[in-house]
């Protein structure tokens, strides 16, 4: 396992010294990246410092034919014909998300087109299982194809790197998740921790990996037990007005309506600002996932100083190894209750102090993350040009 840049828990495990928080003096020619996608907040925040330093250029997402304005998927840059026509406009292709839109045969042609054009492939493994799919189908084969073909592989946690090594015998570079909030956006100020905590679960559009009914039942049952002990907790169940499973939405609304400790909050899909404000109003967020690998939602909560109750699947607990994240077994009510109790009773420093400290850590880390990506890109380019 190679640690290119790391949060504190990566350093503690590896014994490697931290990289400089500033972009080093390296070859000044800007590397041009075709990123799949480019507009995603992960990509923008991970590479911002390198772009600001003039060391990196990221091509805009081409607009897919027939897609609504602003939609990047299915990703045009993964089409072999696009690569053949545009190979001179970029130095390497970096894949993050969206390849599940392609067949194995199509993605094989994509890799062949890159090799023919002498353009390296960099892959960041965010999801070992795809959270958008109820049936993983060809996803493992697609992921394996990219892992086998990639000149460099990045992932976010030691556990994911170990699984990549075990399943595909490939080494992944560890680069932690960047800040989710844009650098120009500050967490809402003036929020205080309430005497009766608000514990929320965001179900969004009930995508396939959302374990909605089980999670809401666990949370309501725990809150009702706490209310019976004279320790009131308000449960906030947040859901989009357009969902993928209307029958389940009705069940959930009935379950919440029958409880005296829960609120039902149904609304159109939230803007980024409204989502930030919604999470910032909570003391604890419960992640309702039945499977997964890493969570950008968890990272947003961390930016905002909101504690997270996460299922013990994937590698959520490795994203930040601190007391603000507690894991539970989705099949065990006692496990859920114990994790919630930990978060409700743990010592808290003032919320604004938490947010300032985490913001400062993120800003320092952003230079390290950009530097690490530059190092990966230059190695990939050197390998292809050798």
Q: Which stretch of 63-77, 92-106, 194-208, 324-338 has the lowest confidence by average pLDDT?
A: 194-208
The alpha carbon of 244 is separated from its chain's Cα centroid by a whole number of angstroms, namely: 21
Instruction: Give the other-Cβ count within 10 Å of 341's Cβ.
Output: 14
pLDDT exceeds cutoff 60 at 235: yes
Distance (Å, rounded) from C-alpha 75 to C-alpha 291? 24
pLDDT confidence bin for 196, thresholds 50/70/90: confident
Closest CA to 294 of 109, 192, 161, 190: 161
pTM score: 0.92
pLDDT exceeds cutoff 70 at 375: yes
- Give the residue, 113 or 348, on which the prediction is more confident: 113
pLDDT exceeds cutoff 60 at 254: yes
pLDDT tens digits, residue range 19-66? 444 444 445 579 999 999 999 999 999 999 999 999 999 999 999 999
Mean of pLDDT values over 323-347:
97
pLDDT exceeds cutoff 70 at 148: yes
pLDDT on residue 10: 46
pLDDT on residue 334: 98
pLDDT on residue 184: 56
String of b and e for 270-288 (b: at least 16 CB within 10 Å)?
A: beeeebbebbbebbbbbbb
pLDDT on residue 18: 35
Rounded to 10 degrees, the C-alpha dihedral 318/299/100/381 comes to -80
Mean of pLDDT values over 182-192:
55
pLDDT confidence bin for 370, thresholds 50/70/90: very high
Q: What is the mean pLDDT of the chain?
A: 91
pLDDT on residue 7: 46
Task: Please give the order of strands across the beta sheet that includes 198-204.
Answer: 262-267, 234-240, 198-204, 284-286, 307-311, 325-328
Mean of pLDDT values over 273-290:
96
Mean of pLDDT values over 58-83:
96
pLDDT exceeds cutoff 60 at 190: no
pLDDT exceeds cutoff 70 at 13: no
Percentage of the chain exceeding pLDDT 90:
85
Q: Cite the DSSP H helix spans in 258-350.
A: 272-280, 296-304, 333-345
Q: Read out DSSP for 179-225?
A: PSS-TT--PPSS----SS-EEEEEEET--TTB-HHHHHHHHHHHHHH
pLDDT exceeds cutoff 50 at 283: yes
String of b and e for 356-383 (b: at least 16 CB within 10 Å)?
A: eebbeebeebbbbbbbbbbbbbbebbee
pLDDT on residue 1: 63
Percentage of the chain exceeding pLDDT 70:
89
């Amino acid at each position: 396992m190679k640690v290119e840049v790391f949060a504190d828990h990566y350093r503690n495990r590896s014994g490697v010294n931290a990289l400089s928080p500033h972009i080093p003096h390296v070859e000044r020619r800007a590397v041009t990246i075709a990123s799949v996608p480019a507009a995603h907040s992960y990509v923008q925040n991970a590479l911002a410092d390198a772009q600001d330093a003039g060391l990196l250029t990221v091509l805009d997402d081409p607009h897919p034919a027939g897609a609504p304005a602003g939609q990047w998927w299915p990703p045009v840059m993964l089409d072999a014909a696009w690569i053949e026509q545009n190979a001179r406009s970029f130095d390497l292709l970096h894949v993050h998300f969206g390849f599940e839109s392609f067949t194995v045969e199509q993605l094989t042609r994509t890799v062949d087109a890159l090799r023919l054009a002498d353009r390296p492939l960099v892959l960041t493994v965010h999801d070992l299982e795809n959270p958008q799919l109820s049936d993983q189908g060809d996803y493992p084969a697609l992921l394996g194809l990219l892992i086998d073909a990639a000149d460099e592989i990045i992932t976010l946690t030691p556990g994911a790197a170990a699984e990549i090594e075990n399943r595909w015998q490939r080494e992944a570079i560890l680069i932690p998740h960047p800040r989710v909030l844009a650098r120009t956006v500050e967490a809402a100020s003036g929020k205080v921790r309430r005497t009766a905590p608000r514990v929320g679960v965001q179900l969004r559009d009930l995508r396939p990996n959302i374990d909605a009914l089980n999670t809401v039942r666990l949370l309501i049952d725990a809150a009702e037990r706490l209310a019976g002990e004279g320790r009131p907790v308000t449960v906030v169940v947040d859901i989009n007005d357009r969902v993928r499973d209307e029958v389940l939405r009705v069940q959930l609304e009935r379950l919440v309506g029958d409880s005296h400790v829960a609120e039902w909050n149904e609304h159109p899909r939230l803007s980024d600002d409204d989502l930030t404000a919604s999470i910032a109003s909570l003391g604890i967020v419960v992640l309702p996932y039945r499977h997964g690998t890493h969570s950008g939602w968890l990272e947003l909560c961390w930016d905002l100083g909101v504690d997270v109750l996460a299922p013990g699947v994937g590698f959520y607990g490795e994203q930040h190894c601190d007391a603000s994240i507690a894991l539970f077994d989705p099949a065990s009510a006692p496990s859920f209750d114990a994790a919630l109790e930990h978060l409700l009773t743990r010592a808290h420093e003032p919320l604004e102090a938490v947010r300032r400290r985490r913001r400062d850590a993120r800003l320092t880390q952003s230079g390290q993350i950009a530097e690490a990506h530059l190092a990966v890109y230059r190695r990939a380019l050197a390998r292809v040009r050798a």
